[in-house]
Amino acid sequence: MTKVCRPYTRDLSIPSILDCGGGSRPPDLPGRLLDRSDRIAWLSTARVMAILVLLAALTPLIFEMLGWGGLLLLAILLGMQFHKLTILLHECVHGTFFFTRSLNRRVGILAAAAAGTSFRGFQRAHLRHHRYNGSEDDPEGRIYPALRLAGRGTLLHQLLSPLLPLAAWRTLRAQVDGPRTGDRSGASEGEEPSGEMRSWTGGWRALLAVVAAQLFLAGITSWGGSEPLLAPFYQATAVTFGLFFSRLRGFCEHVPPHDWHGTSYIRSHRAHWLERFFLYDLGMNWHLEHHLYPTVPGYRLKEVNRYLSSLHTAESCRDSMMGTILRRLRTAPSW
């Protein structure tokens, strides 16, 4: 029997976003797009983690050479890399990054600890996002439909609020917890782990992993405690610039056009070179393709886009995330 890559049709907004015509269903794609590559996954993991640790280790040196201005520049770069760490975690959550489920979870647990959350909590929230995109049950994207008729001030607040330290508490609360009884949302894409693996994806063991990872990173940014004032630099960067880049990307992917009448929206973006440096990684810019075919590894979504190119509209696949932001602000009804 020939393997086929079928679209995920629970999100009923996608056929309306694409130019499918007559309410037709998005196409089945060749099953080879489901193939995973441990080589690509390991190289991507090594790249993301190595750059993250290198930038953290440069903190005292940059501060000594360039002062507070250099530290601000480093914070932007480190926040960018923290954002890419969450994309790595996202790939592991879907179980499509490495070939085996256990390897996806083990690398995912490490990435989650470095990101300051639990693998299971992040997984549960994200799979609910796929299942309930744009609805009140969506923990990640329920705010975006309400922004359809928002003024420019509200849109700018949505984009820039992560830069305020007051927003940090939301990232420090309880994704590090146990499973919700009976909550099996998205089970087909990421079942609950079992046995010893479960103990490290949620609960107190996940909290212990987070604490250990954050202490390790604090040790790197302070050069083993020799610069104690710089010890929380990574964490401060993560909950400001890291969240800012994640929010900016999420805004571009999910904020609906002002004239959209559906309950949710998803768009893709082509790989502009500058935005690729700051925002894109592991195929995340092909976001509509990811929602439609969530079992396809991120590094194969560009090929999925080729199959959907005739169905995309000017709004569903845009040239630039910055262009999406500027256009959305320009078409807002008021301040």
Tell me whether residue 307 is in a domain. yes
CB contact set of 85 (below 8 Å; sequence gap of 6+): 48, 49, 52, 111, 114, 115
- Note whether 91 and 115 are within 8 A (CB): no
Classify residue 59: in a domain, yes or no: yes
Q: Which pLDDT value is given to residue 286?
A: 96
What pLDDT is attached to residue 186?
40
Task: For residue range 67-101, list pLDDT tens digits in order.
Answer: 999 999 999 999 999 999 999 999 999 999 999 99
In tens, the pLDDT along 243-273 reads 999 999 999 999 999 888 877 899 999 977 8
Residue 191 lies in a domain: no
Range of the domain at 316: 14-176+199-330
Give the pLDDT score at 170.
Answer: 54
Q: Would 269 be classed as within a structural domain?
A: yes
At 96 the pLDDT is: 94
Number of CB atoms found within 10 A of residue 67's CB? 10
pLDDT at res. 182: 41
Is residue 335 in a domain?
no
- The parts of the chain modelled with pLDDT lower than 50 are 171-196
How many domains does the structure of the chain reveal? 1
Q: Within a domain: residue 2?
A: no
What integer pLDDT is reported at residue 167 of this predicted model?
55
Supply the pLDDT for residue 49: 97
Considering the domain boundaries, does residue 182 fall inside one? no
55 within domain boundaries = yes
Helix (H, G, I), strand (E, B) or coil at 4: strand
pLDDT at residue 165, as a whole number: 63
